[in-house]
Amino acid sequence: MHDATFYLLFLLGTFLAAGLVKGVTGMGLPTVAMGLLGTVMAPAAAAAILVVPSFVTNLWQLFSGPALAPLLRRLWPMMLCIVLGTLAASTLLVVATPLWSGFWLGIALIVYALYALLAPALRVSARLERWLSPVVGLATGVVTGATGVLVMPAVPYLGSLNLSRDELVQALGLSFSVSTLALAIGLYWHGAFQVRQLGTSTAAIVPALLGMWLGQRLRARISPVRFRQCFMAFLILLGLELAARPLF
């Protein structure tokens, strides 16, 4: 009974916190949820629980802007390669031992947070974009399939394409939606996502949406820069804890 109560409260708290981060920053729900869930379960199991709330919240973000058709025409090579890379690499998330898959999840969190804190803003020309988009898509798919983290290198790359703020938010929603769907297919393909898990995954929508609502209200009251710095520092600490487990 106590274990079941702890598990339920932990799930509610995880998706409330992850939704809060997404409400403030426009992203981060899968990253936070994967990191927190990965401390108490295998990353493959965490990714399976993440599927429905991640897909619903990212789909909401995807359809919240006016530029879906132009973005699809522009980014379809990247999206296609995300699917291919995720499907190919998802076997790594399933067959790896939980400690070592958690290790790589921790490394992915640390790399993403350090890049977000330290790297300068990049700009990609239209000429480079034509061949770089598939490469970035494939790399993002491999990272997504292997760790369940959807953000690298898609987030910094999309931020380098001279998109408007609304277009960038919508492009991130597109990338995350495609990544989540491809990850769900990959996990199901390898037997790591069962139909019975849909109930738990669907129930996580409520705290995730509540967290998003709270985050959107909080966004106007706090410094976005300071919040972002604290969020990235939290991801680094979480990543270090996960990465250290197989070593000690």
**159-172 pLDDT per residue, tens:** 888 888 778 878 88
**Block residue for tokens 């898609």:** 154
pTM (whole model) above 0.75: yes
pLDDT of residue 224: 67
- Residue 41 dihedral angles phi and psi, to the nearest 5°: -155, 170
pLDDT of residue 136: 94
pLDDT of residue 23: 79
- d(CA 116, CA 213) in angstroms, rounded, equals 24
Looking at residues 79-90, what average pLDDT do you find?
94
| Rg of the chain on CA atoms, in Å | 17
pLDDT of residue 56: 84
Instruction: Compare 248 and 6 and report the one with higher pLDDT.
Output: 6
Asked whether the bond before 153 is cis by omega within 30 degrees of 0, the reply is yes
- Would the pLDDT of 1 be above 60? no
Task: Go through 72-86 and write b for each residue having 16 or more CB atoms within 10 A of its CB, e for each that does not.
Answer: eebbebbbbbbbbbb
